[in-house]
Amino acid sequence: MKKTPAYLPVFLLLAMACSPGNKDKSPPTETVQISREVLADKIRGGWAGQTIGCTYGGPTEFKFKGTMIQDYQEMVWYDDYIAEIFELDPGLYDDVYLDFTFVQVIEKFGVNAPADSFALAFAREDYKLWHANQAARYNILNGIMPPESGHWLNNPHADDIDFQIEADFAGLMHPGMINSATELCDRTGHIMNYGDGWYGGVFMAGMYATAFISDNIAYVIEQGLKPIPPQSKFHQVISDVIQWHRQYPDDWKKCWYEVEKKHTSEKGCPEGVFNAFNIDASVNAAYVVIGLLYGNKDFYKTMDIATRCGQDSDCNPATAAGILGVMLGYSNIPGFWKPAIEKAEPLTFPYSDLSLNQVYDLSLKHALQQIEANGGSTDGDNITIRIQQPEMLRFEESFPGMYPVKELLVRTDHLENSIEIDFEGTGIVILGNVKSRCIDETRDFTALLDIYIDGEKIEQVKMPFDYIVRKYDIYHNYRLPSAKHHIEVRWVNQHPDFRIYFKSYVVYDDKPIEPLVQRINSKTAL
C-alpha cells in the first residue's frame, strides 16, 4: 500500500501533547484530522497485528509459567503459517473469533445493543472457550445473565484474562474516543469478568483507541490507564511496570523479574492459585506493557518481548502487536510478516463466517458511525475526530477479604461413590468434569449433581459432557461462614458410560494461612 501522510495537523498536535513540557500530555485541542485511507490502514493494522501476534506466540502458550522464554529459543514463522494454523489449531484464535462475534452483534443491532444481545450471541456459538468465558457461557445458558454472569460470586475466573484479550473490537471502532470504548466495554466485559478482569479489557481498548491519535507509546499506556481506579490491583501493577521501565530502561528482564516478585500471587483462578500457572489479567497485562515499552515501536521486538515474558504467550503478543499495528498502520508493518497474513485475510476465519477482510470493512464502517455519533464528522476523505479525555471508572474488586489456604489434588474418577470433603474456611472451589468411557462418546449426556453442605442440600448442579457447553468447575461457594464444613456431591443420574473426574479442590478463608515457620516458632515458645 502506498504510504500517505497520516494526519498533518495531528503530528504537530502530538508533538505538543507528548513533549516533556506538557505535564498532563493531553492534546491541546479537542479534535484531530485523519484521512479515510489512513483510518482504514490503522484498523487493518490492528486486526492484522492481533492475528500475527497470536500466531507467533501460539506454540509457547502456557509452556513457560513463572519463567521467561530464553533468547536461544527460536520462534517459528513462514509465509503459510497463519493459514495452516487456521486449519490445524483453530482454537488458538479465541482472542480473535470472539471479537468477531461482538462485531457481528453491533452490525446487526447497533453499538447500543444491550448486554444480553452480546451475551446470548457468544454463549450460543459453537467455538471453544475456557476460564471466565466458558464459566460465563454456562451461566448464561443456565439463566444467569450479565453482569451477574461475570461476577466473582458466580464466576471463579472473574479476574482472568478473558475480556482483556477480546476487547480489541471496542478500541478499534472508537478512534480517539476512549470513554465511548469504555462504555461499550462495560456492557460486554461484565458478561465474563469483573474487577481486574474487566479493567484489563478497558485498559486494552483504551490503548487501541489512543493509538489512532498518538505515536507515543508512554502516552498511549498512560491514557489507557487513566480510567482504572488507582486503588485497584490492576492499576498498581501497570503503574509499577511504568516505574520499573524508568528504573531499568534498557533491560526488560529486570522489569519482568520485579513483576514476578511483587505481583504474581494468585487468588482468583483456582487452577493457578497453588502453582505456576497464571492467567490473571493484571499480570498478563504487565507483559503486554513490557512488550510495548521495551519494544520501542519495533513490531518484531514488541511482539517477541511480550511472548518471552511467558504465561499466556499468544494472547499477550496479540494485544501488543494489535495496538502497535494501529499506531503504525498496516502499511508500516514490516514486509516480513505480510505474506502470512495476506494469505489468510480472504479465508473464512476459524469458528466464524467472516474473513479478516470483511472484519476490516465492518470495523471501518462502525468507526465512521461512532465518529459522527460522538461529535466528529466525515466529509469525503476528510475525517474529524472529537477526542475524549478519559473518565475514571467505578471501583470493583473480586474476591475481597478472601485468602487461599489449601489445595488438595485428588485426580480420581467417581462412578458410584459421592465426593465428600471436610474443610475449614469460608469458600471452596471443586475442580473436575464429566468424561466418557465410550469410544462413541455420546455428546448429549448431562450429569446431575446434588450439593450438600453440612448435611443440607444447597442446589443441584448440571454438568454437561459436551465440551462446548460444559461447566468449567464442578462447584464453588464463597459465602460460607469461617468454620469447619462437610461438603458432599452426589451424582443422582449415574450412567455406566460416563464418569465424574474429580481433579482437586481449593479452600479459602477470611484470613491468610499462618506460615509454617510461625507455627513452629509458636509451638517452640510454648
- What's the rounded Cα separation, in Å, for the pair 133 and 138? 9
Residues 298 and 412 in one domain: no
* Residue 372: inside a domain: yes
Domain that holds residue 432: 403-517
What is the reported pLDDT for 165? 97
Contact between 230 and 247 under an 8 Å Cβ cutoff? The reply is: no
Domain end residue (candidates: 329, 355, 386): 386
Residues 420 and 272 in one domain: no
Residues 347 and 484 in one domain: no
When divided into structural domains, the chain yields a total of: 2
Q: Is the pTM of this model over 0.85?
A: yes
Domain at 76, CATH number: 1.10.4080.10
Residues 116 and 240 in one domain: yes
- What's the rounded Cα separation, in Å, for the pair 463 and 384? 52
Q: Is 244 helix (H, G, I), strand (E, B) or coil?
A: helix
pLDDT, tens digit, for every residue of 47-74? 999 999 999 999 999 999 999 999 999 9
Residues 414 and 357 in one domain: no
What is the reported pLDDT for 7? 33
Domain at 512, CATH number: 2.60.120.260
Domain end residue (candidates: 331, 353, 386): 386
Burial class from Cβ neighbours inside 10 Å (0-12, 13-18, 19+) for residue 343 reads middle
* Residue 526: inside a domain: no
Which residues, listed in sequence order, are joined to residue 207 by a DSSP beta bridge?
none
* Residue 396: inside a domain: no
Domain end residue (candidates: 320, 351, 386): 386
Pairing verdict, β 483-491 and 446-453? antiparallel
Q: Helix and strand tally (H, E) in the chain?
A: 18, 11
Query: 21: pLDDT confidence band, cut at 50, 70 and 90?
Result: very low
Residues 468 and 368 in one domain: no
What is the reported pLDDT for 133? 98
Residues 170 and 61 in one domain: yes
Query: 439: pLDDT confidence band, cut at 50, 70 and 90?
Result: low
**Phi and psi for 277 in degrees, rounded to 5?**
-70, 130
Residues 209 and 272 in one domain: yes
Query: 423: pLDDT confidence band, cut at 50, 70 and 90?
Result: very high
Q: Which residue has the cell 464444613?
A: 485
Query: 16: pLDDT confidence band, cut at 50, 70 and 90?
Result: very low
Bond preceding residue 147 cis, omega within 30 of 0? yes
Residues 59 and 109 in one domain: yes
* Residue 111: inside a domain: yes
Residues 145 and 201 in one domain: yes
pLDDT at 392 over 50: yes
Residues 308 and 450 in one domain: no
- What's the rounded Cα separation, in Å, for the pair 521 and 45? 59
- What's the rounded Cα separation, in Å, for the pair 452 and 471? 18
Residues 314 and 456 in one domain: no
